[in-house]
Copies of this chain bind each other. A is one copy, B any other.
Amino acid sequence: MLSRYFPILEWGCSYNGQTLSSDLMAAIIVTIMLIPQSLAYALLAGLPPVVGLYASILPLVAYAIFGTSRTLAVGPVAVVSLMTASAVGAVAPQGTAEYLEAAITLAALSGVMLFVLGVLRMGFLSNLLSHPVISGFITASGILIATSQLRHVLGVSAGGDTWPKMLGSLFAALPQVNPWTLAVGVPSVIFLFWVRKGLKPLLVKFGMSGKAADIAAKVGPVVAVALSIVAVMAFDLAGRGVNITGEIPQGLPPFAMPSTDLSLIRQLFVPALLISIIGFVESVSVAQTLAAKRRQRIAPDQELIGLGASNIASAFSGGYPVTGGFARSVVNFDAGAQTPAAGAFTAVGIAMASLFLTPLLFSLPIAVLAATIIVAVLALVDLKTPRQLWNYSKADFAAHVATIAITLLAGVEMGVIAGVSVGLLLYLWRASRPHAAIVGRVPETEHFRNVERHKVFTADHVLSIRIDEALTFLNARWLEEYVLEQVADRPKIRHVILMASAVNEIDASGLESLEAINHRLADADIRLHLSEVKGPVMDRLQRTHFIEELSGQVFLSQARAFAEALRDDGNDVEQPDDIARGLI
Contacts and interface: CB of A to CB of B under 8 A. Distances in A.
A324 to B, nearest CB: 15
Nearest to A430: B505
A480 B288 contact: yes
Contacts of A300: 477, 481
Contact of A127 (B295, B396, B428): B428
A138 to B, nearest CB: 13
Interface stretch (A197-205, A468-476, A565-573): A468-476
A433 B509 contact: no
Nearest to A517: B292
Contact of A509 (B132, B289, B475, B516): B132
A125 B125 CA distance: 21
A124 B432 contact: yes
Interface in A289-306: 289, 291-297, 300
Nearest to A472: B427
A428 B124 contact: yes
A127 B473 contact: yes
B297 A488 contact: yes
A452 interface: no
A393 B127 contact: no
Given A296-B488, A393-B508, A484-B288, A427 B473 contact: yes
A418 B487 CA distance: 36
Given A127-B474, A512-B131, A520 B396 contact: no
A388 B477 CA distance: 20
Interface string A406-440: 00000000000000000100011111110100000
Given A124-B432, A477-B284, A295 B504 contact: no
A564 interface: no
Contact of A292 (B289, B473, B523): B523
Interface residues of A, number: 71
A543 B391 contact: yes
Contact of A504 (B391, B396, B469, B509): B469
B132 A508 contact: yes
A121 B393 CA distance: 21
A388 B543 CA distance: 9
A536 B388 CA distance: 18
Q: Main SS of chain A's interface residues?
A: helix
B544 A391 contact: yes
A128 B428 contact: yes
Interface in A385-400: 388-389, 391-393, 395-396, 400
Interface string A491-510: 10000000000101101110
Contacts of A126: 477
B484 A291 contact: yes
Given A130-B473, A520-B292, A389 B484 contact: no
A485 B427 contact: no
A183 interface: no
Contacts of A513: 131
A524 B127 contact: no
Nearest to A491: B295
A396 B488 CA distance: 31
Given A127-B431, A393-B540, 18 more contacts: A124-B478, A127-B428, A127-B477, A129-B473, A130-B472, A130-B507, A130-B508, A288-B484, A288-B516, A289-B520, A291-B484, A295-B487, A296-B488, A393-B507, A396-B507, A427-B472, A430-B505, A502-B502
**Top 6 nearest A-B pairs by Cβ distance?**
A130-B473, A292-B520, A396-B508, A131-B509, A124-B432, A131-B512
24 contacts: A125-B428, A127-B432, A127-B477, A131-B476, A131-B508, A133-B473, A288-B481, A288-B520, A292-B484, A292-B523, A293-B523, A294-B524, A295-B491, A295-B524, A296-B488, A297-B484, A297-B488, A300-B477, A391-B544, A392-B543, A395-B507, A396-B509, A430-B505, A502-B502
Interface of A: 124-133, 284, 288-289, 291-297, 300, 388-389, 391-393, 395-396, 400, 423, 427-433, 435, 468-469, 472-478, 480-481, 484-485, 487-488, 491, 502, 504-505, 507-509, 511-513, 516, 520-521, 523-524, 540, 543-544
